[in-house]
Structure 1
Amino acid sequence: MKYIKTSVLLLLLSLITGLSFGQTSPKSLRLFIIGNSFSQNASAYLSNFAKEKGTELIVGRAELAGHSLEQHWGYVEAAEANPEDPKGKPYKGNKSLRMLLSAGTWDVVTLQQASYLSADKESYNPYAQKLYDYIKKIQPNARIIIHQTWAYRSDALKFGRVAPNQLAKNQTEMWEKSRAAYHALAKQLNAKIMPVGDAFYAVASDKVFGFKKDPAFDYENPVYPNLPNQENSINMGYYWKDKKIVFDPNHANEAGRYLGGLIWYAILFNESPSKIEYVPKNVPADFAVYLKTVAEKTIKNLNTSK
């Protein structure tokens, strides 16, 4: 019930204040994603949203687990030096980035940094700029949008790097410094940003809805199939696999993927996320309403801060 009460208030607030979404949105979109598992998480429900709205969405992907901007650019260099070099064709189907980008005309191409490096501003360049220039040579009319990834859950054992040999002390520092780095990159490239990281932190830091570590669970001696209380988590957290407990405070769970997708859809299609009706089956309906209000407020904050 707490979701419903707060969500109704937030929805009323959003209706009163209004948001700056355009009058028209594209009826079809060809989207190409350069990233890793975090971009896969955030875009997981895009096709569901597009189908609901009767929009044609075609998605191309150059995604490799844990990969950074530097690693993606390294593959480009290998392929450009020798198109037959297997090192330059690491993507699905043994394809190079040039081969994938050249498959038709792409309306939007997204870029992101690996989450572990996202709070280290110096890790972005020169690789982001080189990738941007490379994309523009192949797809000169494509809009390039920056995907701002999120900080790890508050109970993570370690957080992303903020400088060589220095890690963020906590979730807040990782979010603050990754946000600053992403916005600096967006300004450098004159590119729009998808503020998924801001939306995640808004949920995580909410006094009512923010995740709180379960103090009653025995983390040192877990007993199958018991799990800690992880209410309101938007990260995977603890789960059992083959009767072994796994802890993943980094990747998004179903609710986190839903929240990330709402931000992506709002930016890509210039539509209010509050209009999305689809809800994944593992996300409680009332919590989904709350996540839509967070997405809407995050987009509003992005628009008003320009």
Structure 2
Amino acid sequence: MKAFALIAALLFCASSVAGEAKTVKLLTIGNSFSANATHYLGDLAKAGGHTLIHQPLVIGGASFQVHAEKAQKHEADPKDKAGLYTSGRGLKENLELQKWDYVTIQQASIKSHDLATYQPYAGWLRDYITKHAPQAKLLVHETWEYRKDDPRFSKPGDLKSQDEMYIGLRAAYDKIAAEFGAGIIPTGDAFHLADTDPSWAYQTDTTFDSKTAKQPQLPNQTHSLHVGWRWAKPKNGGKIALGMDGHHASMAGEYLGACVWYEVLFGESAVGNTFMPKALDPTDARYLQETAHRAVIERTK
């Protein structure tokens, strides 16, 4: 079995050199996390000599339930705006818009560690996708843990640490994917590998005091896969203020996520892909490519 896994891994690595140009048609049913993880996917595909046709269905913070109920509203009344996405189409029309190769689903990150929140809505979406896009391969996007210093972990609740969140979300996504016979996009695994790598992982800057910080002062956030501390205007307007976002992906996190998606969708290693965001250090970019590859390969063992 180990020998088979090794051969598969070697063939997978070789495909990055010998692979033929592919066109992949992708529909993502998600939220800001799917938007983060696919931000650089088209660039990677182009650099790899491939074509990506991507229709994102993004609702901020959306869970399985939100997308399922939107589709149900559209079924009840096709003219009801509550059942439409920004494209002006309902989920049914989006599923039938193309002969999609892949359709992805994911849970809201805040609920990702809690399997009890997945059903019955994940199953409803699976059945709906099967009905309206029967040719598509269903993929479950494993979202990621929050940054170790995210305020969520210091508040009373069911999550006490980054590790606890990862263990819970991996188990939940694995169970639902196995139940559906779906593939996994192991973005969460890749984040965890980098977040726990003692030679690379982000380390909290204990010298930074957010209560006394003055603009533009920020902590050392080297190798953060998350947005983290930043100075910005609130969404509702007002003065620029210091805020913490330990949920969403930074540029490095977006690149890592896109490398994982690239490997799963195009079947070739991201290691050596020539696309790298200009502001990302090339050494870090190479590390993120290798980490994404490791996460995907470990799923084949």
Give the equivalent residue in structure 2 for 1:273.
270
- Of 237-246 and 183-192, deviating more is 237-246
Give the equivalent residue in structure 1 for 2:291.
294
Give the equivalent residue in structure 2 for 1:119.
113
Give the equivalent residue in structure 1 for 2:52.
57
* Cα RMSD for the two superposed structures: 2.1
Structure 1 pair 16–230 and aligned structure 2 pair: CA distance change class (3 A): farther
Identity within the alignment, %: 38
Give the equivalent residue in structure 2 for 1:245.
242
Pick one of 233, 237, 241 that aligns with 2:224: 233
For 2:127, give the aligned amino acid.
Answer: D
Structure 1 pair 152–160 and aligned structure 2 pair: CA distance change class (3 A): farther
Runs of 4+ with >6 A deviation: none
**How many residues were matched structurally?**
286
What is the Cα deviation at residue 16 of structure 1?
11
Q: What SS class does the counterpart of residue 42 from structure 2 fall into?
A: helix
Q: What SS class does the counterpart of residue 279 from structure 1 fall into?
A: coil
For 1:176, give the aligned amino acid.
Answer: I
For 1:110, give the aligned amino acid.
Answer: T
Q: What SS class does the counterpart of residue 275 from structure 1 fall into?
A: coil
For 2:222, give the aligned amino acid.
Answer: E
Q: What SS class does the counterpart of residue 54 from structure 2 fall into?
A: strand
Structure 1, gaps ≥5 residues long = 1-14
8 Å Cα contact 1:45-1:261 kept in structure 2: yes
Q: What SS class does the counterpart of residue 106 from structure 1 fall into?
A: coil
| Residue pairs, 1:92-171, within 5 angstroms | 92-159=86-153, 166-171=157-162
Give the equivalent residue in structure 1 for 2:183.
192
Residues 132-151 of structure 1: per-residue CA shift (max 9 Å, x gap): 11011111110011100001
What is the Cα deviation at residue 18 of structure 1?
4.8
Instruction: Give the Cα–Cα distance (whole angstroms) in 2 for the partners of residues 252 and 211 of structure 1.
Output: 13
Give the equivalent residue in structure 1 for 2:34.
39
8 Å Cα contact 1:238-1:245 kept in structure 2: yes
Q: What SS class does the counterpart of residue 271 from structure 2 fall into?
A: helix
Instruction: Give the Cα–Cα distance (whole angstroms) in 2 for the partners of residues 248 and 54 of structure 1.
Output: 35
Q: What SS class does the counterpart of residue 29 from structure 2 fall into?
A: strand
Structure 2, gaps ≥5 residues long = 1-5, 234-239
